[in-house]
Structure 1
Amino acid sequence: MEFEQAHGNFLEMHTNDRGGERRGRLLRGHNYAEKLFLQNVWWPLFESLEHLHPEYEVYDWNRKSQFLDFAFLPLNGARFGIECDGYQSHIKDMDRERFSYALNRDTFLTGMGWRLLHFSFDDIQQRPEVCRMLLQLALAPYLARNRAGGEHLLSKEKEVLRLAWQLGRPVRPKDVTDNLQINFRTARKLLVTLSDNGLIKPVASNERVRYYEVSSMRPDQIW
Protein backbone atom coordinates (compact mmCIF):
# COMPACT_ATOMS: atom_id res chain seq x y z
CA MET A 1 0.00 0.00 0.00
CA GLU A 2 1.26 3.49 -0.87
CA PHE A 3 1.59 6.18 1.79
CA GLU A 4 -1.25 8.43 0.55
CA GLN A 5 -3.75 5.58 0.63
CA ALA A 6 -2.54 4.39 4.02
CA HIS A 7 -2.70 7.92 5.41
CA GLY A 8 -6.22 8.42 4.09
CA ASN A 9 -7.36 5.16 5.66
CA PHE A 10 -5.57 6.10 8.89
CA LEU A 11 -7.37 9.43 9.23
CA GLU A 12 -10.73 7.97 8.23
CA MET A 13 -10.48 5.21 10.82
CA HIS A 14 -9.57 7.56 13.68
CA THR A 15 -12.10 10.21 12.65
CA ASN A 16 -14.94 7.68 12.52
CA ASP A 17 -13.88 6.30 15.89
CA ARG A 18 -14.15 9.67 17.67
CA GLY A 19 -16.80 12.16 18.61
CA GLY A 20 -17.10 15.60 20.15
CA GLU A 21 -13.95 17.58 20.93
CA ARG A 22 -11.66 14.59 20.33
CA ARG A 23 -12.94 14.37 16.76
CA GLY A 24 -12.76 18.14 16.31
CA ARG A 25 -9.21 18.24 17.61
CA LEU A 26 -8.16 15.58 15.11
CA LEU A 27 -9.71 17.48 12.20
CA ARG A 28 -8.11 20.76 13.31
CA GLY A 29 -4.80 19.51 14.66
CA HIS A 30 -3.57 16.95 12.15
CA ASN A 31 -2.10 19.30 9.57
CA TYR A 32 0.87 19.66 7.24
CA ALA A 33 3.64 19.13 9.81
CA GLU A 34 2.04 16.01 11.26
CA LYS A 35 1.43 14.46 7.85
CA LEU A 36 4.98 15.33 6.78
CA PHE A 37 6.33 13.54 9.86
CA LEU A 38 4.45 10.41 8.86
CA GLN A 39 5.53 10.70 5.24
CA ASN A 40 9.20 11.61 5.74
CA VAL A 41 10.04 9.87 9.00
CA TRP A 42 7.60 7.18 10.12
CA TRP A 43 6.54 5.56 6.83
CA PRO A 44 10.06 5.03 5.39
CA LEU A 45 10.99 3.13 8.55
CA PHE A 46 7.90 1.02 9.18
CA GLU A 47 5.63 1.17 6.10
CA SER A 48 2.69 0.93 8.50
CA LEU A 49 0.68 3.29 10.72
CA GLU A 50 -0.45 0.50 13.04
CA HIS A 51 -0.59 1.31 16.77
CA LEU A 52 -0.16 5.02 16.00
CA HIS A 53 -2.84 7.45 17.24
CA PRO A 54 -3.04 11.07 15.98
CA GLU A 55 -4.00 13.93 18.31
CA TYR A 56 -4.10 11.64 21.32
CA GLU A 57 -5.75 12.98 24.46
CA VAL A 58 -3.85 12.91 27.76
CA TYR A 59 -4.37 14.69 31.09
CA ASP A 60 -2.05 16.77 33.24
CA TRP A 61 -1.79 16.72 37.03
CA ASN A 62 -4.91 18.93 37.29
CA ARG A 63 -6.89 16.62 34.97
CA LYS A 64 -6.66 19.26 32.25
CA SER A 65 -7.04 17.75 28.80
CA GLN A 66 -4.03 17.98 26.46
CA PHE A 67 -3.30 16.44 23.07
CA LEU A 68 -0.11 14.81 21.83
CA ASP A 69 0.56 15.02 18.09
CA PHE A 70 0.89 11.24 18.09
CA ALA A 71 0.80 8.41 20.58
CA PHE A 72 2.49 5.15 19.67
CA LEU A 73 0.98 2.35 21.74
CA PRO A 74 2.53 -1.02 20.85
CA LEU A 75 1.05 -4.21 22.23
CA ASN A 76 3.79 -4.59 24.84
CA GLY A 77 2.31 -1.77 26.94
CA ALA A 78 4.97 0.85 26.16
CA ARG A 79 3.66 4.39 25.64
CA PHE A 80 5.41 6.88 23.39
CA GLY A 81 4.29 10.46 22.88
CA ILE A 82 5.58 12.07 19.69
CA GLU A 83 5.55 15.82 19.14
CA CYS A 84 6.32 17.75 15.95
CA ASP A 85 7.57 21.12 17.21
CA GLY A 86 7.66 24.20 15.04
CA TYR A 87 9.98 27.00 16.17
CA GLN A 88 7.32 29.70 15.75
CA SER A 89 4.59 28.04 17.77
CA HIS A 90 6.66 26.18 20.37
CA ILE A 91 9.46 28.60 21.18
CA LYS A 92 9.23 32.08 19.70
CA ASP A 93 5.61 32.72 20.65
CA MET A 94 5.77 30.94 24.02
CA ASP A 95 5.74 33.10 27.17
CA ARG A 96 7.40 32.05 30.42
CA GLU A 97 4.26 30.56 31.90
CA ARG A 98 3.53 28.41 28.85
CA PHE A 99 7.19 27.40 28.66
CA SER A 100 7.12 26.25 32.30
CA TYR A 101 3.86 24.40 31.77
CA ALA A 102 5.24 22.56 28.72
CA LEU A 103 8.24 21.35 30.72
CA ASN A 104 6.11 20.35 33.69
CA ARG A 105 3.66 18.51 31.45
CA ASP A 106 6.45 16.46 29.88
CA THR A 107 7.90 15.66 33.29
CA PHE A 108 4.48 14.65 34.61
CA LEU A 109 3.79 12.37 31.63
CA THR A 110 7.25 10.84 32.02
CA GLY A 111 6.38 10.08 35.62
CA MET A 112 3.16 8.46 34.40
CA GLY A 113 5.11 6.08 32.19
CA TRP A 114 5.21 7.93 28.88
CA ARG A 115 8.37 8.25 26.79
CA LEU A 116 8.24 11.60 25.02
CA LEU A 117 9.99 12.21 21.70
CA HIS A 118 10.27 15.68 20.17
CA PHE A 119 11.17 16.42 16.55
CA SER A 120 11.55 19.89 15.05
CA PHE A 121 9.62 20.75 11.93
CA ASP A 122 12.84 21.93 10.28
CA ASP A 123 14.41 18.49 10.76
CA ILE A 124 11.26 16.69 9.62
CA GLN A 125 11.25 18.76 6.45
CA GLN A 126 14.96 19.18 5.69
CA ARG A 127 16.80 16.43 7.60
CA PRO A 128 14.34 13.53 7.91
CA GLU A 129 17.18 10.99 7.93
CA VAL A 130 18.29 12.39 11.32
CA CYS A 131 14.75 12.01 12.65
CA ARG A 132 14.53 8.45 11.35
CA MET A 133 17.81 7.52 12.99
CA LEU A 134 16.76 8.99 16.34
CA LEU A 135 13.27 7.51 16.17
CA GLN A 136 14.54 4.02 15.47
CA LEU A 137 17.16 4.38 18.19
CA ALA A 138 14.44 5.28 20.70
CA LEU A 139 11.96 2.61 19.63
CA ALA A 140 14.18 -0.34 18.74
CA PRO A 141 14.57 -1.92 22.21
CA TYR A 142 10.79 -1.77 22.70
CA LEU A 143 9.81 -3.18 19.31
CA ALA A 144 11.95 -6.29 19.36
CA ARG A 145 10.57 -9.70 20.21
CA ASN A 146 11.66 -13.27 19.97
CA ARG A 147 10.35 -14.20 16.53
CA ALA A 148 10.67 -17.91 17.10
CA GLY A 149 8.79 -18.20 20.38
CA GLY A 150 7.10 -14.83 20.80
CA GLU A 151 8.71 -14.46 24.22
CA HIS A 152 9.95 -11.23 25.71
CA LEU A 153 13.64 -10.50 25.40
CA LEU A 154 15.67 -11.05 28.53
CA SER A 155 17.07 -7.96 30.22
CA LYS A 156 20.64 -8.72 29.10
CA GLU A 157 19.47 -9.17 25.52
CA LYS A 158 17.79 -5.75 25.67
CA GLU A 159 21.01 -4.24 27.00
CA VAL A 160 23.01 -5.74 24.15
CA LEU A 161 20.48 -4.44 21.61
CA ARG A 162 20.63 -0.94 23.09
CA LEU A 163 24.42 -1.09 23.09
CA ALA A 164 24.44 -2.06 19.42
CA TRP A 165 22.33 0.99 18.61
CA GLN A 166 24.39 3.33 20.78
CA LEU A 167 27.69 2.32 19.19
CA GLY A 168 26.58 3.37 15.72
CA ARG A 169 28.78 0.66 14.19
CA PRO A 170 28.88 -3.15 14.09
CA VAL A 171 29.09 -4.57 17.59
CA ARG A 172 31.72 -7.13 18.66
CA PRO A 173 31.62 -9.63 21.52
CA LYS A 174 34.41 -7.58 23.13
CA ASP A 175 32.14 -4.50 23.12
CA VAL A 176 29.54 -6.51 25.02
CA THR A 177 32.05 -7.88 27.54
CA ASP A 178 33.50 -4.41 28.20
CA ASN A 179 30.16 -2.62 28.59
CA LEU A 180 28.09 -5.28 30.36
CA GLN A 181 30.93 -6.72 32.45
CA ILE A 182 30.22 -10.30 31.41
CA ASN A 183 32.50 -13.02 30.06
CA PHE A 184 33.23 -13.54 26.37
CA ARG A 185 31.25 -16.77 26.09
CA THR A 186 28.10 -15.19 27.50
CA ALA A 187 28.55 -12.14 25.25
CA ARG A 188 28.80 -14.29 22.15
CA LYS A 189 25.76 -16.34 23.21
CA LEU A 190 23.68 -13.17 23.61
CA LEU A 191 24.73 -11.93 20.17
CA VAL A 192 23.95 -15.28 18.56
CA THR A 193 20.51 -15.34 20.20
CA LEU A 194 19.69 -11.85 18.91
CA SER A 195 20.95 -12.87 15.48
CA ASP A 196 18.81 -16.04 15.47
CA ASN A 197 15.79 -13.86 16.26
CA GLY A 198 16.57 -11.54 13.36
CA LEU A 199 17.27 -8.49 15.51
CA ILE A 200 20.91 -8.18 14.47
CA LYS A 201 22.74 -9.49 11.41
CA PRO A 202 26.11 -11.30 11.41
CA VAL A 203 28.92 -9.72 9.41
CA ALA A 204 31.51 -12.23 8.24
CA SER A 205 35.23 -11.46 8.12
CA ASN A 206 37.58 -14.10 6.69
CA GLU A 207 34.67 -16.57 6.75
CA ARG A 208 34.17 -16.02 10.49
CA VAL A 209 31.51 -13.90 12.14
CA ARG A 210 33.28 -11.16 14.06
CA TYR A 211 30.69 -8.38 14.04
CA TYR A 212 26.92 -7.90 14.14
CA GLU A 213 24.81 -5.10 12.67
CA VAL A 214 21.39 -3.99 13.91
CA SER A 215 18.49 -5.03 11.69
CA SER A 216 15.66 -2.69 10.76
CA MET A 217 12.54 -3.43 12.78
CA ARG A 218 8.88 -2.99 11.96
CA PRO A 219 5.66 -2.89 13.99
CA ASP A 220 4.89 -6.52 13.10
CA GLN A 221 7.85 -7.41 15.32
CA ILE A 222 6.26 -5.90 18.44
CA TRP A 223 6.01 -8.33 21.32
Structure 2
Amino acid sequence: MEEQVKGSKGERRRRLLSEKRYAETLFLKDVWWPAFGNFRLLFAEFELRDFKDGWRFLDFAFIINVTRVCIEIDPYGTHFRNIDRKQYDDNLHRHNDLVLDDWKVLRFSLDDIKYNPRKCQQTIMQAAAKWGLDDTKHLLQLIPTEYAVWKWVENQDDLVTPISVAKALRINRETSTKYLKSLVLKGLILPASREGKKIMRYRAKSSGRTNG
Protein backbone atom coordinates (compact mmCIF):
# COMPACT_ATOMS: atom_id res chain seq x y z
CA MET A 1 0.00 0.00 0.00
CA GLU A 2 2.96 2.36 0.56
CA GLU A 3 3.74 2.10 -3.15
CA GLN A 4 0.23 3.28 -3.97
CA VAL A 5 0.67 6.32 -1.74
CA LYS A 6 3.98 7.15 -3.43
CA GLY A 7 2.44 6.83 -6.88
CA SER A 8 -0.67 8.87 -6.06
CA LYS A 9 -1.36 12.59 -6.30
CA GLY A 10 -4.11 15.13 -5.77
CA GLU A 11 -7.32 14.06 -4.07
CA ARG A 12 -6.45 10.36 -4.12
CA ARG A 13 -3.22 11.02 -2.25
CA ARG A 14 -5.05 13.15 0.31
CA ARG A 15 -7.55 10.35 0.88
CA LEU A 16 -4.86 7.69 1.21
CA LEU A 17 -3.05 9.77 3.82
CA SER A 18 -6.21 10.66 5.73
CA GLU A 19 -6.43 9.60 9.38
CA LYS A 20 -10.10 8.72 8.82
CA ARG A 21 -9.33 5.36 7.21
CA TYR A 22 -9.78 3.21 10.31
CA ALA A 23 -12.43 0.96 8.72
CA GLU A 24 -10.43 0.49 5.51
CA THR A 25 -7.23 -0.26 7.43
CA LEU A 26 -9.02 -2.84 9.57
CA PHE A 27 -10.39 -4.47 6.41
CA LEU A 28 -6.87 -4.82 5.01
CA LYS A 29 -5.46 -6.22 8.25
CA ASP A 30 -8.24 -8.57 9.38
CA VAL A 31 -9.96 -9.57 6.13
CA TRP A 32 -7.87 -9.14 2.99
CA TRP A 33 -4.42 -10.06 4.29
CA PRO A 34 -5.50 -13.30 6.05
CA ALA A 35 -7.40 -14.34 2.91
CA PHE A 36 -4.72 -13.56 0.30
CA GLY A 37 -1.46 -12.64 2.03
CA ASN A 38 -0.79 -10.01 -0.61
CA PHE A 39 -2.13 -6.64 -1.77
CA ARG A 40 -1.37 -7.14 -5.45
CA LEU A 41 -4.30 -6.24 -7.72
CA LEU A 42 -6.06 -4.41 -4.87
CA PHE A 43 -6.18 -0.62 -5.27
CA ALA A 44 -7.19 1.70 -2.42
CA GLU A 45 -9.16 4.90 -3.10
CA PHE A 46 -9.48 3.89 -6.74
CA GLU A 47 -10.26 6.89 -8.92
CA LEU A 48 -12.57 6.65 -11.92
CA ARG A 49 -14.77 8.87 -14.05
CA ASP A 50 -18.53 8.56 -13.82
CA PHE A 51 -21.07 9.03 -16.61
CA LYS A 52 -21.17 12.79 -15.93
CA ASP A 53 -17.38 13.11 -16.41
CA GLY A 54 -16.95 13.68 -12.69
CA TRP A 55 -14.54 11.77 -10.46
CA ARG A 56 -15.56 9.02 -8.07
CA PHE A 57 -13.45 7.21 -5.47
CA LEU A 58 -13.97 3.59 -4.51
CA ASP A 59 -12.75 2.37 -1.11
CA PHE A 60 -11.05 -0.51 -2.94
CA ALA A 61 -10.94 -1.85 -6.47
CA PHE A 62 -9.90 -5.44 -7.06
CA ILE A 63 -9.04 -5.85 -10.75
CA ILE A 64 -8.07 -9.15 -12.32
CA ASN A 65 -8.17 -9.78 -16.07
CA VAL A 66 -11.38 -8.12 -17.31
CA THR A 67 -13.24 -8.49 -14.01
CA ARG A 68 -13.51 -5.39 -11.80
CA VAL A 69 -14.74 -5.64 -8.24
CA CYS A 70 -15.62 -2.60 -6.13
CA ILE A 71 -15.29 -3.18 -2.37
CA GLU A 72 -16.95 -0.62 -0.11
CA ILE A 73 -16.65 -0.38 3.68
CA ASP A 74 -19.65 1.19 5.43
CA PRO A 75 -19.27 2.17 9.10
CA TYR A 76 -22.72 2.22 10.70
CA GLY A 77 -24.29 5.67 10.57
CA THR A 78 -21.37 7.66 9.16
CA HIS A 79 -22.24 7.25 5.48
CA PHE A 80 -25.83 8.46 5.68
CA ARG A 81 -26.38 10.24 8.99
CA ASN A 82 -24.93 13.57 7.87
CA ILE A 83 -26.02 13.70 4.23
CA ASP A 84 -29.02 15.40 2.68
CA ARG A 85 -31.55 13.88 0.28
CA LYS A 86 -29.62 14.97 -2.80
CA GLN A 87 -26.43 13.35 -1.53
CA TYR A 88 -28.37 10.21 -0.65
CA ASP A 89 -29.74 10.05 -4.21
CA ASP A 90 -26.25 10.63 -5.59
CA ASN A 91 -24.92 7.69 -3.57
CA LEU A 92 -27.53 5.41 -5.13
CA HIS A 93 -26.75 6.75 -8.61
CA ARG A 94 -23.08 6.03 -7.95
CA HIS A 95 -23.87 2.40 -7.13
CA ASN A 96 -26.09 2.03 -10.21
CA ASP A 97 -23.45 3.59 -12.48
CA LEU A 98 -20.91 1.02 -11.29
CA VAL A 99 -23.28 -1.85 -12.05
CA LEU A 100 -24.13 -0.44 -15.48
CA ASP A 101 -20.41 -0.14 -16.20
CA ASP A 102 -19.99 -3.88 -15.45
CA TRP A 103 -18.45 -3.51 -12.01
CA LYS A 104 -19.14 -6.17 -9.39
CA VAL A 105 -19.91 -4.60 -6.00
CA LEU A 106 -19.29 -5.97 -2.50
CA ARG A 107 -20.19 -4.02 0.65
CA PHE A 108 -19.11 -4.75 4.21
CA SER A 109 -20.08 -3.07 7.46
CA LEU A 110 -17.42 -2.04 9.96
CA ASP A 111 -19.12 -4.22 12.60
CA ASP A 112 -18.83 -7.29 10.37
CA ILE A 113 -15.15 -6.60 9.75
CA LYS A 114 -14.52 -6.18 13.49
CA TYR A 115 -16.58 -9.08 14.81
CA ASN A 116 -16.97 -11.46 11.85
CA PRO A 117 -13.79 -11.10 9.75
CA ARG A 118 -13.86 -14.78 8.77
CA LYS A 119 -17.33 -14.36 7.29
CA CYS A 120 -16.07 -11.40 5.24
CA GLN A 121 -13.12 -13.47 3.99
CA GLN A 122 -15.49 -16.25 2.94
CA THR A 123 -17.71 -13.78 1.09
CA ILE A 124 -14.77 -12.51 -0.95
CA MET A 125 -13.56 -16.02 -1.76
CA GLN A 126 -17.08 -17.13 -2.73
CA ALA A 127 -17.38 -14.08 -4.98
CA ALA A 128 -14.05 -14.96 -6.60
CA ALA A 129 -15.31 -18.45 -7.38
CA LYS A 130 -18.70 -17.24 -8.64
CA TRP A 131 -17.18 -14.60 -10.90
CA GLY A 132 -14.63 -16.94 -12.43
CA LEU A 133 -11.65 -15.88 -10.34
CA ASP A 134 -10.84 -19.34 -8.98
CA ASP A 135 -7.12 -18.78 -9.54
CA THR A 136 -7.10 -15.55 -7.54
CA LYS A 137 -5.11 -16.83 -4.58
CA HIS A 138 -2.36 -18.31 -6.78
CA LEU A 139 -2.23 -15.14 -8.86
CA LEU A 140 -1.90 -12.86 -5.86
CA GLN A 141 0.99 -14.92 -4.53
CA LEU A 142 3.10 -14.80 -7.69
CA ILE A 143 6.46 -13.11 -7.38
CA PRO A 144 6.93 -10.08 -9.70
CA THR A 145 8.79 -11.86 -12.54
CA GLU A 146 6.37 -14.78 -12.48
CA TYR A 147 3.44 -12.37 -12.57
CA ALA A 148 5.01 -10.54 -15.53
CA VAL A 149 5.32 -13.83 -17.43
CA TRP A 150 1.68 -14.71 -16.71
CA LYS A 151 0.48 -11.24 -17.75
CA TRP A 152 2.42 -11.35 -21.02
CA VAL A 153 1.13 -14.83 -21.91
CA GLU A 154 -2.44 -13.74 -21.13
CA ASN A 155 -2.12 -10.89 -23.62
CA GLN A 156 -0.97 -13.10 -26.51
CA ASP A 157 -3.35 -14.51 -29.11
CA ASP A 158 -0.74 -16.95 -30.41
CA LEU A 159 1.02 -19.82 -28.68
CA VAL A 160 4.17 -18.83 -26.83
CA THR A 161 7.52 -20.51 -26.24
CA PRO A 162 10.19 -20.04 -23.57
CA ILE A 163 12.26 -18.18 -26.17
CA SER A 164 9.46 -15.75 -27.11
CA VAL A 165 8.79 -15.02 -23.44
CA ALA A 166 12.49 -14.53 -22.72
CA LYS A 167 12.88 -12.07 -25.61
CA ALA A 168 9.74 -10.12 -24.75
CA LEU A 169 10.57 -9.73 -21.06
CA ARG A 170 14.36 -9.61 -21.46
CA ILE A 171 15.02 -12.55 -19.19
CA ASN A 172 17.04 -15.67 -19.94
CA ARG A 173 15.46 -18.79 -21.39
CA GLU A 174 15.99 -20.88 -18.26
CA THR A 175 14.11 -18.32 -16.17
CA SER A 176 11.20 -18.14 -18.61
CA THR A 177 11.00 -21.95 -18.77
CA LYS A 178 10.97 -22.19 -14.97
CA TYR A 179 8.12 -19.74 -14.58
CA LEU A 180 6.10 -21.14 -17.49
CA LYS A 181 6.23 -24.58 -15.87
CA SER A 182 5.33 -23.08 -12.50
CA LEU A 183 2.32 -21.30 -14.00
CA VAL A 184 1.14 -24.55 -15.60
CA LEU A 185 1.36 -26.34 -12.24
CA LYS A 186 -0.69 -23.55 -10.65
CA GLY A 187 -3.32 -23.84 -13.36
CA LEU A 188 -2.81 -20.28 -14.62
CA ILE A 189 -1.69 -21.15 -18.17
CA LEU A 190 -1.97 -24.30 -20.28
CA PRO A 191 0.52 -26.48 -22.18
CA ALA A 192 -0.22 -26.30 -25.91
CA SER A 193 2.18 -28.80 -27.50
CA ARG A 194 4.68 -31.40 -26.34
CA GLU A 195 7.57 -33.48 -27.60
CA GLY A 196 7.44 -36.52 -25.39
CA LYS A 197 7.23 -35.22 -21.83
CA LYS A 198 8.72 -31.85 -22.72
CA ILE A 199 6.33 -28.90 -23.14
CA MET A 200 7.29 -26.94 -26.25
CA ARG A 201 4.60 -24.25 -26.39
CA TYR A 202 2.11 -22.69 -24.00
CA ARG A 203 -1.12 -20.76 -24.27
CA ALA A 204 -3.21 -18.43 -22.15
CA LYS A 205 -5.97 -20.07 -20.15
CA SER A 206 -8.42 -17.58 -21.63
CA SER A 207 -7.41 -18.50 -25.20
CA GLY A 208 -9.91 -20.29 -27.38
CA ARG A 209 -7.24 -22.55 -28.90
CA THR A 210 -7.23 -26.26 -28.29
CA ASN A 211 -4.13 -28.21 -27.37
CA GLY A 212 -2.03 -29.29 -30.33
Question: Would you say same fold, with TM above 0.5?
Answer: yes
Tell me whether 21-30 or 131-140 shows the greater mean CA deviation.
21-30
Query: Is residue 2:107 matched to residue 1:113?
Result: no
Alignment counterpart, residue 93 of structure 1, candidates 60, 75, 82? 82
Query: Is residue 2:134 matched to residue 1:134?
Result: no
Q: Deviations over 1:5-62 (max 9, x none)?
A: xxxxx2x201111222222222127721111001111111111111111111122221
Identity across matched positions, percent: 38
Write the letter of the residue equivalent to 1:78. T
Write the letter of the residue equivalent to 2:43. H
| Residue 24 to residue 53, structure 1, CA distance change in 2 (3 Å) | same
Q: What is the CA–CA distance in structure 2 between the aligned matches of 1:89 and 1:63, rounded to whole Å? A: 26
Once the 2 structures are TM-superposed, how far is the Cα of residue 107 of structure 1 from its aligned partner? Answer: 0.8
| Residue 92 to residue 20, structure 1, CA distance change in 2 (3 Å) | closer
| Residue 97 to residue 30, structure 1, CA distance change in 2 (3 Å) | same
Alignment counterpart, residue 68 of structure 2, candidates 67, 79, 88? 79
Match of 2:53 in 1: 63
Match of 2:200 in 1: none
Count of residues in correspondence between the two structures: 144
List structure 1 runs of 4+ shifted beyond 4 angstroms.
Answer: none
- Report the structure, 1 or 2, having the larger helix content: 1
Tell me whether 90-99 or 80-89 shows the greater mean CA deviation.
90-99
Q: What is the CA–CA distance in structure 2 between the aligned matches of 1:29 and 1:63, rounded to whole Å? A: 28
Alignment counterpart, residue 5 of structure 2, candidates 2, 9, 15? 15
Write the letter of the residue equivalent to 1:86. P
Once the 2 structures are TM-superposed, how far is the Cα of residue 64 of structure 1 from its aligned partner? Answer: 1.4
Match of 1:40 in 2: 30
TM-score by length of 2: 0.60
Write the letter of the residue equivalent to 1:111. L
Write the letter of the residue equivalent to 1:17. G
The one of the two structures with greater contact order (alpha-carbon pairs below 8 A, sep at least 6) is 1
Q: Deviations over 1:106-126 (max 9, x none)?
A: 111111121111100110111
| Residue 43 to residue 97, structure 1, CA distance change in 2 (3 Å) | same
| Residue 49 to residue 197, structure 1, CA distance change in 2 (3 Å) | closer
Write the letter of the residue equivalent to 1:59. R
The question of whether the paired residues in 2 share the 8 Å contact of 1:30 and 1:69 is answered with no
Gapped regions of structure 1 (runs ≥ 5):
1-9, 153-195, 199-221
TM-score by length of 1: 0.57
Match of 1:51 in 2: 41
CA RMSD in angstroms comes to 2.8
Q: Deviations over 1:171-194 (max 9, x none)?
A: xxxxxxxxxxxxxxxxxxxxxxxx
The question of whether the paired residues in 2 share the 8 Å contact of 1:30 and 1:54 is answered with no
Q: What is the CA–CA distance in structure 2 between the aligned matches of 1:46 and 1:89, rounded to whole Å? A: 28
Q: What is the CA–CA distance in structure 2 between the aligned matches of 1:118 and 1:125, rounded to whole Å? A: 14
Write the letter of the residue equivalent to 2:29. Q
